[in-house]
Amino acid sequence: MAATAKSEKLDLRLTAEAKQMLQTAAAASHRSVSEFVLESAMARAQETLPDRHVFNLDAESWAAFQAALDAPPRSMPRLARLLSTPSVFERSDTE
């Protein structure tokens, strides 16, 4: 499998203490600082993002969710009126 070319760069400002800690941790894990920071950041991103894309429901909540999806659409007369009324940006034929 061919490796994807790395074409993007990310600059980072940090304190001397933070840099030293990253260098020490990278050395302890036999990685370069760049590899260590990237792997750590990607792991954190993977922990953070699933709750933005996946949500878990108990059986009762799941049943209610499915019922809401399966229910026929409810009447929304105000929305229908809004969508059928010409916009202020549309010209009327009387002008």
Q: What is the 3-state secondary structure (H, E, C) of 51-82?
A: HHHCCCCCHHHHHHHHHHHHCCCCCCHHHHHH
pLDDT in tens, 42-54: 999 988 887 777 7
Choose among 4, 33, 30: nearest CA to 21: 33
pLDDT higher than 60, residue 55: yes
CB 27 within 8 Å of CB 36:
no
49: which DSSP letter? S
Is the overall model pTM greater than 0.75, yes or no? no
pLDDT higher than 60, residue 95: no
Q: Which amino acid belongs to residue 85? A: T
